[in-house]
Amino acid sequence: MATGGDVDLGELSPSQQDALQQYMQVTDQEVKDAIPLLQRSQWNVQIAIAKFFDGEGPDPLAEALAQQELPRSSARLENLQESMYTAAAQPPRRNPADRPEPAPRIVPMPNTVHRPPFLVGLLLTPFSLGWAVASRLFRTVWYIFSFLPASIRPRGLTNGSTSGLRNTTGRRMLMPQDTAARFKREFEEEYGNSELPWFEGGIAQAQDLAKKDLKFLWVVLMSPEHDDTESFTRETLLAPEVIGFIRDPANNIILWGGNILDSEAYQVAQEYNCTKYPFSALVCLTPKEGSTRMSIVKRLVGAMPPTAYLSEAQSAINKYTADLAGVRAERTAREVTQNLRHEQDSAYERSLAKDRERARQRREAEKAAAEAVQRAEEEAAAATRLAAQRDQWRRWRATRIEAEPAADDKEVVRIALKMPESSGAGRIVRRFRKDTSLEALYAFVECYDLLQGEFDEKAEEPTDYKHKFGFSIASIMPKSVPPTGAKRRDAGDCRFVCLSLWLWLKVQPLRDTEGDKFTGPQRRTGQASRRDEACKAC
């Protein structure tokens, strides 16, 4: 069974395994770090997720247990020397006051618009229209008064016409990204275009990025109404050494600023316990306090010189750089291990795919071979069945061949058939009636071997069988092949015989007569021409 750190996953109950699965799907944290956090959260998924994103504060239960484990009356039996040795051997306890404060993850609540019911809104429509007209008229008059000299201009109008960070009119609650863009624009309107890399997003997005990339989050909160804001911004924050320090990639700093007149920055000031302005804070991941805890590692309050400002920030960064480097190295090693495991899994999947492809090809080859064998067996069975039907048809057809007419019959034709050499019959001379069809002539040739011996007189015609002759009968002079299809001619056709002439025919297999088909008039000999003239006389 796979283990996560020192905890065996097999020892977890089903509910604990479900909680671990839900927590890992949301946070994508390793098992060895997720299980201790869930144990400290009493396996409550919501509390564990909140600790992961907002940071983990001191555990009241652990502190209470620590207070209960204080040495009792048994410690009075020790002498001074033993107490000194015991105190020297024990590691010094960390003062809770030295622990950095947790930096909660702040997500501003969306502005909720409450709509009255339809009937109430319908009743309030006249008042809404009147308020809209009055407010437009008031803004028009206010705009006209703004052109008056400053000495006679109303004081409220003078204060409301300011721009930049001091502008307090019309500040609507916006989305975090829009609020950050407005702060940057107002800052540049007030102090000019600076090179400070303000993060254009919410404080929660900046904190998540700092946790993900293991960077320091530099938070700057400004109060436009404070007297030190102007001097701090121009002399300290916009000092070249401060800008260069913040922009240096080696320091891994994400700069986020806010105006406390905005809702998000005000919530940050409340959560960070900010009581004096201008306020700056450094936030980073503190792995010693918790694997996912973001803490405020340095507070910079009030106006101070640039050197002192940088010195305080540099000391805090140097203090926690080693811890972040250790976490970064651990993440890199974990990523290398994951990449190696992924490559191994990919190689295994590719090898498995090749094995599956070979197995598929083998199955297809076996299937094709089986189909070929089955097809050969079916063809052999069909050939055997066809041969049996052909033999049955020949026996049946032999019983229906007319007997040879008498020699003195005038309605006869004497036909000489030259049989193929493979039959061994040689030349056959037989008399046929002039009205004998070509099919009967072909059937005589087909059943000639049976007619020479004894055959079954009671043979029946096979069902579902259409006989095809495997040969053709052609006249020698002139050379032509009579059709055996639907339009059959009689044996006494003038094509073969005229009056009392003999008809010389040749029986040849179909494979030997390909290309010898009669295609039209051919050049004929004198004897053939005389026969054609005799045919015309008929």
d(CA 57, CA 73): 33
Q: Which has the higher per-residue pLDDT, 17 or 94? A: 17
Q: How many CB atoms lie within 10 A of CB 451?
A: 10
- Give pLDDT tens digits for 271-309: 999 988 999 999 999 988 888 889 999 999 988 999 999
d(CA 272, CA 281): 9
d(CA 217, CA 494): 116
Which pLDDT band holds residue 146 (cuts at 50, 70, 90)?
Answer: low
- Give pLDDT tens digits for 458-506: 788 888 889 888 888 887 766 665 555 434 444 444 334 333 345 667 6
Looking at the DSSP bridge assignments, the partners of residue 221 are 258, 279
**Percent of the chain scoring above 70 in pLDDT:** 73
- Give pLDDT tens digits for 174-184: 888 999 999 99
Residue 164 has pLDDT above 70, yes or no: no
d(CA 34, CA 12): 13
Q: State whether residue 360 is helix, strand or coil.
A: helix
Residue 320 has pLDDT above 90, yes or no: yes
Beta carbons of 142 and 161 less than 8 angstroms apart? no
Average pLDDT, rounded, for the chain: 78
- Give pLDDT tens digits for 32-46: 888 888 888 888 888
Residue 280's Cβ-count burial label (10 Å; 0-12, 13-18, 19+) is buried
pLDDT at 50: 80
d(CA 143, CA 145): 5
Distances (CA, A) of 522 to 479, 503, 534: 9, 19, 18
pLDDT at 510: 66
pLDDT at 378: 95
Nearest partner of 474 among 426, 447, 523, 441, judged by Cα: 441
pLDDT at 525: 36
Residue 444 has pLDDT above 60, yes or no: yes
Nearest partner of 267 among 51, 101, 109, judged by Cα: 109
Q: How many CB atoms lie within 10 A of CB 103?
A: 28
Q: Could you give all domains of the chain from N- to C-terminal order, each with its CATH number?
A: 1-54 (1.10.8), 118-160 (no CATH), 173-336 (3.40.30.10), 399-518+526-537 (3.10.20.90)
* Conformational region of residue 500, where left means phi above 0, alpha means psi within -120 to 50, and beta covers everything else: alpha
pLDDT at 500: 39
Residue 515 has pLDDT above 60, yes or no: no
pLDDT at 251: 92
The token pair at 442 is 């072909």
